[in-house]
Amino acid sequence: MPAKSPEKKWYSISAKADDTAEIYIYEQIGEDWFGEGVQAKNFVKELAGLKASKINLRINSPGGSVFDGQTIYNAIKRHPATVDTYIDGVAASIASVIALAGDRVIMAPNALFMIHNPWGFAQGSADDMRKYAELLDKVRDTIVTVYREKCSLADEEIIAAMDAETWMSAEETQAAGFCDEISSASAGVSNMFNFAGLGFRNMPPEACLIHTIEPVDLSATTPSASAEVIIPPQGAKKPEMEVVVMPEATTAPKNGANDAAEIAAMCAANNCADKAAEFISAGLSADTVGRKILDLHAAGKLSTPAAEAAAMVDMGKDAKSYSYQRAISAAIDMREGKQVSGFEVDIHQEISKHLPQNYAAKGGILVPMRVMNTALTTGGTNTGKETVFQEYGEFIDMLRNISVLARMGARTLTDLRGPITFPKQTGGSSAYWVGENPGAGVTQGNPTFGTMVMSPKTLQATGAVSRQLLVQSTPDVEGLVRADLAAVHALAWDKAGIHGTGAASDPTGVYAASGVNAVAMGGVPAFGKFVDMETEVNKDNALVGAMGFVTTPGMAGKMRQTLESASAGARWIWDGPALEGNMAGYKAISSNQIASNLGVGTNEHGIVLGNWADLLIGMWAGLELIVDPYTLADQGLVKITSFQMCDIGLRRAESFCKATGATLA
C-alpha cells in the first residue's frame, strides 16, 4: 500500500450553542486504498465525547467498509441524543445502514437510497470460495437485521431487493418504510463518486463510469494475522460494501448471523478493535466475546491510554509516598489562590493532560484511583526483585473491599473510555423431531439479541475533615482519609446497584431493572420463599457463578430467629453472623444500603438473590476532589466534594430475583 497522505476524514462532527450537534458523512466510509480517511474507531471516540441532546446526521455517501459502517450505526444508536438523519444526496450500500440509526429519517426529494449485497473478491480452492460465500451470506444477514427494524418489508423482500441492487427514489424509499418523511428542499444528487468503479451495476445513468478490479489470491495472505484481502490494481478504488475477510481461509467462522457485526462493534467500543478479527475467525458467539471483553477489563489487559493515564499513574519509586491527605491540602492552597507545588500537584497536572473527552473538570485536584509502582528495592538479599511496599494500598482496592456488591462478586471495570456495550441473547432457535419426508416444514426460529449499555455518569459525594487532622503526617491519618473517601463512594455503588431508579443521571439498579425475577413474600418470609427465589433464577438457567443473598440488617436479624420449619431439630434460616452468613445454602450479607422502607405505608425490606458477577460497576477517569475551606471554617472543618465517573449495569437481568412485600411482622 502506498504511503499515507495527510489524514482526510470522511466525516465531521461539530457542536453548536443550542445543544445541537451536526455530523456530516459526505465521503466513502473508512480508510481507502491510498490511506486516506480514518477508521470507525476514531468516529466512535469523537461521538462518545459529544455532549448534545439533539444530533442532525447528514449523509451523502456511496458506503464503504461493512464493519466500520455497522460500528458507526451501533455507536449512533446508543448515543443518548435524539438523532435526525438527513439524506442529502445518496445513502448507498453500508451508508444506507448508517442512515437508519436516526430516530427519524428525512430524505431530500431528489436524493437516492440504495441497498445491495455485500461483496468482495477472493481466489483459491473451491473450499475457499464456498467459505467466502458463507461469510458474505452471514454479513448480509446482519444488514437485513438492521433493515428489518425500520422498514415494512419482509425478510424475503429485503433480500430480493439486495440481490437486485435496488436504487430507490425518495418516494420509493418512504413507501418501503426506510424513510419517515421527504423534505421540501432539494439537495442535488452528487456525482462525485465513481459508482462503476465501486462495483455497482444499476447506478443512475449520470454516475456511470467504467472501472475494473482484479481478484486476489487468498492463499497469499499471512495465516496468523488479520488482514483485508481485497487488493485493487494500481489506480483502483476500494470496492463498495467491502468485507474484511479472515485470512485463515481453511476455517469458516461459525458465528451466528448477527454476531460478526456485533463483535466488531463491541471491540471498537471497548478499544480492542484489533481483536475483532481473532474472535470472529475463532467462531466465537457475541455473548462469549462480551464475556471475554469483561474479563480483559477486569484483568486490566485492555489498553485505553487516555483513561488509563487518568486512573492509573506510574509514579515509579515515589509511589509509596503519594498522599491523598497532602493532595487535599494542596487543593485548599489552590482554592485560596496560593502557589502550589509538590509531588501530588505534579500527578494532578499529569492526569489533567489525559482526561477523557467527555469529562468536564470541576476545578479541583485530580487524584489517581490506581497507583502503578515499578520501582525496585535497593537493598537486601532480593535486591532488584521485590517491588517497593505500597503502604496504604490502591484506592480502587479499598473501594472493592468496602462495597457489599463488590464483596458479593460484582465485577468492577476500571480505565474505561467511552460507553461500553455488550450484547445479550434474548431468544433462540427451536428444534423439532420429525419423521421421514414430513409433509410440511418446521417453524423457523431465529436467535434474537439485545444490548446492555453502560455510559459514564457523575457520582458526587460530600464530606468534611478537620484542618488539624490534615496537618498530621502519620500513616494512620492518611489511611483514615483514604478510607473515608472510599467508603462514601462504595456505599453509593451499593445503593445504585440495588435501588438505582434509572431516571436522569441515576444508574438502574436491580429493583428498577426490567426483566428481573420477583417473588412476593406476603409478610415475614418463610424458608420456602427463599427456595422460590432460587427457583425463579434457576428457571432462566442463571443459577451459576457468584450466587448470594443481600438484605437489610433487620431482615438478617429476623431470619436468625426464624426456623426453616416447625420440625424438631430445624435450623435457623440465617446461619452465621449478621454481617456475613448463609441462607438457603448461599452466602448472605446484610447492609443498611438495602432499603427497609420499600412499601407505601409499610416497612418493606429489600432482599435480592443473584449471580453478582452479572452486576457490573464501570469506572471512567480518576477521582476529582473539590475543597471548600470557608463554609465550615467556624467549626475548623474543610468541606470536601468528590466526583467520580461511573455506572452500574446488569449483564443479565434474569440472573437476579428480588423480594416484594417482605416485612418483619
Catalytic residue numbers, as ranges? 93, 116
How far is Cα 661 from Cα 665, in angstroms, rounded to an integer? 11
Give which of 541, 510, 448, 447 is closest to 653, Cα–Cα.
510
Place of cell 458477577: 613
The alpha-carbon radius of gyration of the chain (Å, integer) is 29
Question: What separation in angstroms does the CA of 19 have from each of 54, 241, 361, 513?
Answer: 7, 34, 19, 29
How far is Cα 145 from Cα 157, in angstroms, rounded to an integer? 13
List of E strands, 50-144: 54-61, 82-92, 104-107, 112-115
Give which of 508, 496, 525, 517 is closest to 609, Cα–Cα.
517
Place of cell 450500500: 93
How many other CB atoms are there within 10 angstroms of residue 2's CB atom?
A: 8
**H helix intervals, 443-593:** 467-470, 475-499, 527-539, 553-559
Strand duo 20-25 + 11-15: pairing: antiparallel
Instruction: Compute the CA torsion angle 238, 239, 244, 247 (nearest 10 deg).
Output: -90
Strand duo 20-25 + 607-611: pairing: unpaired
Question: What separation in angstroms does the CA of 606 have from each of 343, 599, 603?
Answer: 46, 10, 10
Residue 297 φ then ψ, to 5°: -60, -50
Give the three cell numbers for residue 280: 470472529
Cβ within 8 Å of residue 557, ≥6 positions away: 578
DSSP-based three-state secondary structure for 199: coil
Q: Which long-range contacts (CB under 8 A, 24 or more apart) does 14-20 make?
A: 15/50, 15/51, 15/52, 16/52, 19/52, 19/53, 19/54, 20/52, 20/53, 20/54, 20/55, 20/56
Give the three cell numbers for residue 378: 535497593
How far is Cα 257 from Cα 275, in angstroms, rounded to an integer? 19
Cβ within 8 Å of residue 296, ≥6 positions away: 272, 302
Quick check: 178 and 102 in contact, CB under 8 A? no
Cα 241–Cα 149–Cα 176 angle in degrees, nearest 5? 80
